Structure 1
Amino acid sequence: MAGHKIYAMSFGSVYPHYVAKAERKGRTQAEVDEIIRWLTGHDQAGLEAVIADGTDFETFFAEAPALNPARGAIKGVICGVRVEEIEEPTMREIRYLDKLIDELAKGKAMEKILRRA
């Protein structure tokens, strides 16, 4: 199966858009980073390296240190599609991240975004 166009996009080229979306709603880059670290298992240095080195989305998720097992609790609609119904694994991971950033921008508490409460 041919990959989606986003798979080849560098994570670092999209990351500033995640931050900008959060900051427009009064949230912080630190919160965006916390979400990404929670989802992927990256530490801050690893995350910064991936942002800087041009790693594409497919590799970013394929080589994530430890995808959070609680990510399966992420439910809802993103881009008109229920994330829990996306069958293609890489696209589902990308949409999980999109959903978490949306929740942040909508003012949801970090405890709930990170599925702790």
Structure 2
Amino acid sequence: MKLEKVFAIQWPKLYPMYLKKVEAKGRTQAELDQVIRWLTGYTPAGLRKRNEADADLETFFAKAPKFNPNAVLVTGVVCGVRVEEVEHPLMRKIRQLDKLVDELAKGRAMEKILRG
């Protein structure tokens, strides 16, 4: 898939997919929101606003208040791609979020997911 197509994915359509994935594994929306907020710096109200807005992934990450500096600790493979080796900055952020959601769905402890 071309980067432009990935960046154009609508956040309000992706979020329910993330939610379905984690809930199917016994995790909660609150936990998913906590992971997203940790990475992006959104407040609970800010994240709700983004979930209701018509925004693509590029806009979602561009409007993020403060990308967590500990995001560099998010490493490993997601979708066959090593997260820390992704060169494009926006694509790396997307892969970091994918990795965190995967870890949540796999039952990893929240303190480890949040690199605490």
Instruction: Establish whether TM, by shorter chain, passes 0.5.
Output: yes
Q: Distance in 2 between matches of 1:53 and 1:75?
A: 30
Indicate the residue corresponding to 2:42 in structure 1: 42
Q: Distance in 1 between matches of 2:97 and 2:69?
A: 14
How far residue 85 of structure 1 moved from its aligned partner, in angstroms, is 0.1
Q: 1:19-75 CA deviation, whole Å, 9 max, x = no partner?
A: 100000000010000000000000011001011011110011112100000000001
Indicate the residue corresponding to 1:87 in structure 2: 87
Indicate the residue corresponding to 2:28 in structure 1: 28
Structure 2 portions without partners, runs of 5+: none
Q: State TM-score, norm by structure 1.
A: 0.95
Aligned counterparts, 1:51-70, within 5 A: 51-70=51-70
Q: Distance in 2 between matches of 1:108 and 1:45?
A: 26
Could you list the structure 1 runs, at least 4 aligned residues long, displaced by more than 2 angstroms after superposition: none
Identity percentage over the alignment?
Answer: 57
**Cα RMSD (Å):** 1.0
Indicate the residue corresponding to 2:6 in structure 1: 6
Opposite residue 42 of structure 1, the aligned amino acid is: Y
Q: Distance in 1 between matches of 2:28 and 2:11?
A: 18
Opposite residue 17 of structure 2, the aligned amino acid is: H
Indicate the residue corresponding to 1:76 in structure 2: 76
Paired residues, what number? 115
Q: State TM-score, norm by structure 2.
A: 0.96
